[in-house]
Amino acid sequence: MKKRINFYVTIFLISILLISCEQEEDTSNGYVIVNNVKYKLSWGILENHGKESNYSDFCYVLRLLSTGIDIQEEEGTVESLIGSGHYFSISVFSNLDDKLALGEYVYDENETEKSGTIGHASVRLNFDSYAESEQYFPSQSGSFTVESNDNIYKIEFDFFTDEGVSVTGYYLGKLEFYRYGLD
């Protein structure tokens, strides 16, 4: 009888352990994959830089960052990124002045700066603002998709660098919003 009770107690404890392991929360809101290696992205900022010309739509710069990277702000403006980690950066054009337009964005070889187009995109791995070292992967082709519900953005991207390296990623979460030159 004692063996049977020990057996059931052991099974019960193993079950609790397995359930608690399954419920561990992933603190990462997203990721970027470069050369088949996944890097976590934890938070993001979205900067509206206004219109680049009378003919363009609003230029946004989106940065999705890992933990370890922070922003240095001055008078409500992002001056620089500080710390170390990884990040994805993209400039896109949207016809909305208060958020990104939903849908797919693609590279525009004619650089029309119209809504739904991409200006440039890049990934920086092993970024360190103090050592000024990193692996830099600029891209020249690909797409970027935006969905949003109650200021929670779902972002997916798929790019190729100049050297043909695949860069894919995903992000789900809020973005810190900055607005410049629109007064």
Signed CA dihedral, 60, 137, 155, 71: sign only: negative
For residue 55, report the phi and psi dihedrals to the nearest 5 degrees. -100, -10
Q: What is the 3-state secondary structure (H, E, C) of 9-23?
A: HHHHHHHHHHHHHHC
Query: Averaged over 137-154, what is the pLDDT?
Result: 92
Above 80 in pLDDT, residue 10?
Answer: no
Query: Averaged over 125-140, what is the pLDDT?
Result: 89
Note the pLDDT of residue 13: 39
Per residue in 15-45, pLDDT tens?
Answer: 444 444 433 334 349 999 999 999 999 999 9
Above 70 in pLDDT, residue 144?
Answer: yes
- Nearest to residue 49, comparing CAs of 65, 40, 61? 61
For 170, the token pair is: 């995903």
Note the pLDDT of residue 140: 83
Note the pLDDT of residue 25: 38
CB 61 within 8 A of CB 89: yes
CA atoms within 13 Å, Cβ hemisphere of 46: 22
Per residue in 32-90, pLDDT tens?
Answer: 999 999 999 999 999 998 887 776 789 999 999 999 999 999 888 899 999 999 999 99
Amino acid at 30: G
- Nearest to residue 46, comparing CAs of 109, 96, 104, 103? 96
Comparing 182 with 130, the larger pLDDT belongs to: 130
For 38, the token pair is: 């996944």
Per residue in 81-114, pLDDT tens?
Answer: 999 999 999 999 999 988 899 999 999 888 888 8
